[in-house]
Amino acid sequence: MRHHLGTPGLAPGAAPASVVHMRITLIAVQSLDGFITRHGTPGAGFASAADGRHFRAALREFDCGVMGRATYEEACVGGTFSPTPARRRVVLTRTPERFAAVAVPGALEFTDAAPAEITARLQAGGGRACALLGGAQVHRLYLAAELVDELWLTVEPRLFGTGTPMLATPADVRLRLLTHEPLGDDVLLLKYTVQR
């Protein structure tokens, strides 16, 4: 169950006139055996062109996104990163001060805040739909905080045996399948809702 985190300017215990729930969707691509990276190689370079098309189209549905430092750095190297105030990005890192020179208030922010605090700030700034973009540590933190509403998972027809698992630590999260659709030859998109 999600708890109201408080809104600046309201007295403690006072309810705002209307609270719009920000939907958080974890978006990931993984191998059939559950890895979001291939062996020790960072990023999702193994993802198919079909997943790439799906991912780019899906991101248009979100006004904000949260990712970890390694995911941010991989996106910058791959040239797929373009934050704007209309699509605010928050990077979760243990050392936000390292990124002060590239931070853009309201568009690209770096923080070591807890997921609930990040979510409250995004929602207070008008966020209505947030894409949780990885990696495994960020997935774990948001699922443990019970902030994830949906999981959109592309399953690629690959087996790696090693790599980064989708979750950094053991978990037990119940899901309910919403939809399944082929994205291309042998590539499947599964959309789940998180059961609370």
Q: How far apart are CA 97 and CA 108, in angstroms?
A: 13
Whole-prediction pTM: 0.86
Domain limits, the chain: 32-194
Dihedral of CA atoms 45, 49, 54, 56 in degrees, nearest 10, equals: 70
Give the bridge partners for 88, in sequence order: 64
At which residue do the structure tokens 């704007």 appear? 84
Could you list the pLDDT tens digit for every one of the 196 residues in the chain?
A: 332 233 333 344 444 445 568 999 999 999 999 999 998 788 888 999 999 999 999 999 999 999 999 999 988 875 556 677 778 999 999 999 999 999 999 899 999 999 999 999 999 999 999 999 989 999 999 999 999 999 999 999 999 999 999 998 889 999 999 999 999 889 999 999 999 8
Task: Report, at the CATH architecture level, how domain 32-194 is classified.
Answer: 3-Layer(aba) Sandwich (3.40)
DSSP per-residue letters across 101-117: TT-BTTTEEEE---HHH
Collapsed DSSP state (helix, strand, coil) of residue 132: strand
Alpha helices in the chain (DSSP H): 49-59, 69-78, 115-124, 136-144
* Cis bond upstream, residue 135 (ω within 30): yes
Q: How far apart are CA 123 and CA 120, in angstroms?
A: 5
Instruction: Tell me which residue of 180, 178, 192 sits closest to 150, measured CA to CA.
Output: 192
